[in-house]
């Protein structure tokens, strides 16, 4: 089966046809924004939506987002050629991973032989913070 364009899919079903003006507007906004930005910057950002008077742009990282904010007046002018009511551009950083919740602390697990070697090393050292640390390591999570 040959891949079909999004326009062909939207035109194929009457219930999807109503989305075609939104898709056309989004494509036009993307083209207008890409024309304003340097190519390297355009490759790291994309227009993801337009609601009321705000166009939303996602940046790959915070450095790109900061640079996009410097282009904001030019971006607004470019977007107004497509959507005259545009008054603002909202730049957000694309999240690459879900937010990390509280993770359990990793526990090091030692086999008996390494634990015994660390214990012997701790006993051979004079009393010091180093000896305490090595002794503590030798007791952690032995299997």
Mean pLDDT, each 10-residue run in order, the chain (143 residues): 72 78 88 90 90 92 92 93 93 75 64 86 90 86 60
Q: Are 16 and 10 in contact (CB under 8 A)?
A: yes
CB atoms within 10 A of CB 25: 13
CA distance linking residue 104 with residue 111, whole number of Å: 21
What integer pLDDT is reported at residue 15 of this predicted model?
77
Residue ranges, comma separated, of all CATH 3.30.300.180 domains in the chain are 7-93
What integer pLDDT is reported at residue 100 of this predicted model?
60
CA distance linking residue 12 with residue 6, whole number of Å: 10
Q: Are 131 and 122 in contact (CB under 8 A)?
A: yes
Multiple choice CATH, 7-93, 3.30.70.141, 2.30.30.90, 3.40.50.300, 3.30.300.180? 3.30.300.180
């Amino acid at each position: 089966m040959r891949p079909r364009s999004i326009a062909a899919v939207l035109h194929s079903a009457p219930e999807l046809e109503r989305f075609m003006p939104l898709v056309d507007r989004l494509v036009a906004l993307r083209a207008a924004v890409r024309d304003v930005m340097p190519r390297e910057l355009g490759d790291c950002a994309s227009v993801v939506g337009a609601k009321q008077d705000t166009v939303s742009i996602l940046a790959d990282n915070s450095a790109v987002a900061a640079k996009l904010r410097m282009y904001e007046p030019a971006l607004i002018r470019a977007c107004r050629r497509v959507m005259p009511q545009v008054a603002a551009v909202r730049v957000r950083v694309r999240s690459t991973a879900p937010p990390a919740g509280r993770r359990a602390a990793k526990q090091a697990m030692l086999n008996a032989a390494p634990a015994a070697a660390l214990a012997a090393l701790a006993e051979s050292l004079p009393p010091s913070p180093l000896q305490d640390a090595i002794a503590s390591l030798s007791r952690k999570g032995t299997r």
